[in-house]
Structure 1
Amino acid sequence: MTADNILNEENNEKNDELENSQVEVNSPEEENQGSQEQQSQEDDSTSGGQDDSEAASEGSDVSFNEGDKVTGTVFKVEDKFVRAHIDGSDFEGIIPISQVTNKRIEHPNEVVAEDDSIEAVVIKVEDENERHNLILSIRKLEEDQSYDSLITAKENDETLEGTVMEVVQAGLVVDVGVRGFIPASLLSDEYVEDLEQFAGQTLEVKVEDIDKDKNRVILNRKKIIESQKNDERRGQLQKLTADTIVEGEVVRTTNFGAFINLGAIDGLAHISELSYERVEKVEDAVNIGDKVDVKILDVDVDNERVSLSIKQAQASPFELFIKEHDEGETLEGTVKRLVDFGAFVEVAPGVEGLVHVSEISHDHVAQPADVLDEGEKIQVKILSLNADAEKVSLSIKETTDPGERSTAPSKVYRDETEDDRPTLGDVFGDRFKNLDL
């Protein structure tokens, strides 16, 4: 037996002794406990492997279809698309830049960032060769939600706000969650020449028409303006009070009067209320654009009508006349009208007085037209001034001497014959003079 063999045998014996000594030291209870711990570790190892396997199995068993709504978390934002982990699956969502938003953007990071939670709709499923990719659209989901909101808004006649994205020849392109369009004819209740003034503005609109299948949304701003103006008119009508004087602007003229703007509403001043002087043509008294004071004669709230007067907002010519003239004063006037009972004579612009037929002459006058002509200049005397009724009584005859009669030559009838023969009067005159006939 060699030394190596001996050493090996000794080593083997020592190892046997060591094992025997360890067996002898450990009690039966300890041996049982060690056995249980070992079994527990094996069970835990087996259980952990099963959980991981089940999780992987569950992730791989999830399936998606086009149109499904999903949620996820963005983990990468690139130039032309966004990547996101889809919740509850091992799928990855890819969102092209065109599907991130309906707004025009240069880079997806203008809208989303890493770790953002997103909600999107599946527009394509790529499950080939275990790629597990979903093509998603945030834009389509938002548009679907926006269309639902717009349909509800139209049904309830709600007012929306939208931002003008683009100005085109026919109207405005407006963002209301989706691209909507306001035709120029539905932009205002008045003609709008410059559409560029609305670029970038936020406007209030109503939904005029909507077709989701055709991606068409027609908006109306005119209705809102009309409604606002109607409310303003009603409000101002309720504040207007008869017999008050306000300022207005002449905005339209017709053959029967002038329409005057008072702010939210127009009132009518009839041609007879434009001036104290007789007006043959409206444009002779006022012109469009004139600023005028008017007196409110009547307010009809139900029919939205206001009657106005320009002349009554001014001091009347009669008021000025009685301040400058007194009874008994003589002045020149112009015959304006002749009637059966006398003559109307203008003694100042807008002021006419009546000369009764009995005041025309000291002589009897059957018809004023027998001695006066319209347009004739005459002298008249003021007999009375009635401030309340604004009447002036005049007299022509009081300006003349009572002894002055008509200047028309008297008609004298004479016998112009040259016959000198006596008449019956000559023969019998003296004989009959004492008879009591």
Structure 2
Amino acid sequence: MRRARSRRQWSRMAELEKTGEIVEAQVVEANRGGLVVDVGLRGFVPLSQLLSVGNLGTGERAAVPDALRDYVGKRLPLKVIEADPRRDRLILSEKAAAQQQRRRRKEEASSRLVEGQILEGTVASVTTFGLFVDVGAADGLVHRSEITWERGIEPTALHNPGDRVRVLVTGVDRERGRISLSIKRLVEDPWARALRELAVGTDIDATVTRVMPYGAFARLASGVEGLIHVSEIALRRITSPSEVVHPGDLVRVRVVAIDPDRRRLSLSMRQASGNVVYATRTDQDANV
């Protein structure tokens, strides 16, 4: 009778391993290596498979730490990752169960989301390719190209984990469970404003943002950046833009060319009226 019940229980564990179904189990014992749980059979959850307990230091290995003792008597959602009746080995994972639950929540969330929705979220993590934002039930990705309209800066440096952000849902891939988001599309494209306000021959103030060997980039009040070629910086001949301008300088420029298709703006200090670098350095340094 007992053997038949044991076979049935092992058969069920093997089926759970195949299907990935999550099972709840009570923690009955804690030791230095992890937790012993009761799922009809005795199973083991190794330390590495627990969500809130990391690897123990050498001093903590001598006794069962309180963090593990606190689990005893609690019920945990677990996933069977190995069921081997011949070796009497049943291994379960709290981490794998949590990952699966999160995937399911993401699938459920993506089924409710539609493109064009505006959501409040929290930056969950920052990577080289963008931000993962928790919008409630799941995380969505703000690709680095969708963080800001500004150019010449590292977009992923603008936010940190824990930051609250407003995002626009730009895509929902229900089959792959992916949610695409944008931060920058919630504000007007600076180029749209620039095309309304600027015209070739217009003189306007701009702030130098970067100085390169071939010229200086300057940002207008509309938010767009334009290039002042080295030949268009001063009335006299100069070999390097840094002889005249530095990042942060406020300068008067003339719009000499607008290329909306390539999103390029050509500027000239030399042609602008009142060709002066305003006071951000000493008077001697500011002379053109």
Q: In the superposition, relative to structure 1, how do residues 160 and 260 fare at CA in structure 2: closer, same or farther (>3 Å)?
A: closer
Return the TM-score normalized by structure 1.
0.43
Q: Partner residue of 1:152?
A: 11
Q: In the superposition, relative to structure 1, how do residues 318 and 265 fare at CA in structure 2: closer, same or farther (>3 Å)?
A: same
Work out whether 1:268 is the aligned partner of 2:141: yes
The residue correspondences of 1:132-281 to structure 2 (distance < 5 A) are: 143-157=2-16, 160-187=23-50, 190=51, 192-193=53-54, 194-207=67-80, 208-211=82-85, 216-281=89-154
Contact 2:106 2:139 in 1 (8 A): no
Q: Secondary structure at the match of 2:162?
A: coil
Q: Partner residue of 2:286?
A: none
Work out whether 1:308 is the aligned partner of 2:190: no
Contact 1:252 1:288 in 2 (8 A): yes
Q: Partner residue of 2:221?
A: 348
**Which residue identity lines up with residue 223 of structure 2 in the other structure?**
G
Residue-by-residue CA offset, 1:72-128 (whole Å, 9 max, x unaligned): xxxxxxxxxxxxxxxxxxxxxxxxxxxxxxxxxxxxxxxxxxxxxxxxxxxxxxxxx
Contact 1:277 1:349 in 2 (8 A): no
Contact 2:194 2:222 in 1 (8 A): no
Return the TM-score normalized by structure 2.
0.60
Deviation at 1:153, TM superposition (A): 0.5
The residue correspondences of 1:90-109 to structure 2 (distance < 5 A) are: none
Q: In the superposition, relative to structure 1, how do residues 318 and 227 fare at CA in structure 2: closer, same or farther (>3 Å)?
A: same
Contact 2:49 2:94 in 1 (8 A): yes
Identity level (%): 33
The CA distance in 2 between the partners of 1:217 and 1:354, in whole Å, is 66
Work out whether 1:372 is the aligned partner of 2:233: yes
Q: In the superposition, relative to structure 1, how do residues 229 and 393 fare at CA in structure 2: closer, same or farther (>3 Å)?
A: same
State which structure, 1 or 2, has the greater radius of gyration over its C-alpha atoms. 1
How many residue pairs match? The answer is 240
Deviation at 1:229, TM superposition (A): 2.0
The residue correspondences of 1:363-402 to structure 2 (distance < 5 A) are: 369-372=230-233, 378-380=251-253, 399=273
Contact 2:148 2:155 in 1 (8 A): no
Q: Unpaired runs of 5+ in structure 1?
A: 1-140, 356-367, 401-437
Q: In the superposition, relative to structure 1, how do residues 196 and 370 fare at CA in structure 2: closer, same or farther (>3 Å)?
A: same
RMSD of Structure 2 on Structure 1 (CA): 4.5
Q: In the superposition, relative to structure 1, how do residues 277 and 168 fare at CA in structure 2: closer, same or farther (>3 Å)?
A: same
**Which residue identity lines up with residue 83 of structure 2 in the other structure?**
D
The CA distance in 2 between the partners of 1:317 and 1:162, in whole Å, is 56
Residue-by-residue CA offset, 1:155-185 (whole Å, 9 max, x unaligned): 4326544322112222222223343322233
RCO comparison, higher one (Cα < 8 Å, 6+): 2
**Which residue identity lines up with residue 176 of structure 1 in the other structure?**
V
Q: In the superposition, relative to structure 1, how do residues 248 and 353 fare at CA in structure 2: closer, same or farther (>3 Å)?
A: same
